Amino acid sequence: MSPRTAEAAAVEQAHQAFYDAVERSDLEALEGLVLTGPLAETVSVVHPGWPVLRGRREVMRSYALIMANTEYIQFFLTDVEVAVDGDTALVTCTENILTGGPAEEDGSAGSLVGGLVVATNVFRRTSGGWRLWVHHGSPVMAEGVEEGDDGDDGESI
């Protein structure tokens, strides 16, 4: 592997570890992947439909909240593109998300819901490896669906 390829592979590994931690509801693992140090107060995350969360503390609190309110979540990542320049790495991807709703009253599993989100993730190189600095996820609307477009029954996803 060339140094450049090895670098991109290390970034992709950190990127995958980030999604794995959310999938497993492993807040401790996630804490180890989010940037600490001088830039900790500038860590910024946007969950789909949310305003900007800024600072490591607020970001971790949001993940704790999401984990507490999510029965089941699975990410199938596609279109993963990695760019590394110096100590900064950019990863964009599509998150094909499968989430489980809360359990039914009779105790059976809740219904599964699919969703399509695109994400921009920026990592910084640290002595301990690549750490997440920025995450921005947003819902992808179905193509060609516009307000007032009554020739199409499609719904936004």
Q: Which residues of this chain interact with a second copy, rule CB under 8 A?
A: 38-39, 42, 44, 46, 48-52, 54, 79, 81, 83, 85-88, 90, 92-94, 118, 120, 122, 124, 133-134, 136-141, 156
Q: How far apart are CA 66 and CA 64, in angstroms?
A: 6
**Do 25 and 70 touch, CB atoms closer than 8 A?**
yes
Q: Which is nearer to a second copy, 29 or 67 (CB)?
A: 67
The least CB distance from residue 20 to a second copy, in Å, is 21
The least CB distance from residue 150 to a second copy, in Å, is 16
Half-sphere CA count of 90, side-chain side, radius 13 A: 4
The least CB distance from residue 120 to a second copy, in Å, is 4
Q: How far apart are CA 122 and CA 36, in angstroms?
A: 14
Q: How far apart are CA 20 and CA 17, in angstroms?
A: 5
Q: Which is nearer to a second copy, 50 or 76 (CB)?
A: 50
Q: Which is nearer to a second copy, 86 or 107 (CB)?
A: 86
The least CB distance from residue 122 to a second copy, in Å, is 6
Residue 63's φ and ψ, nearest 5 degrees, are: -70, -35
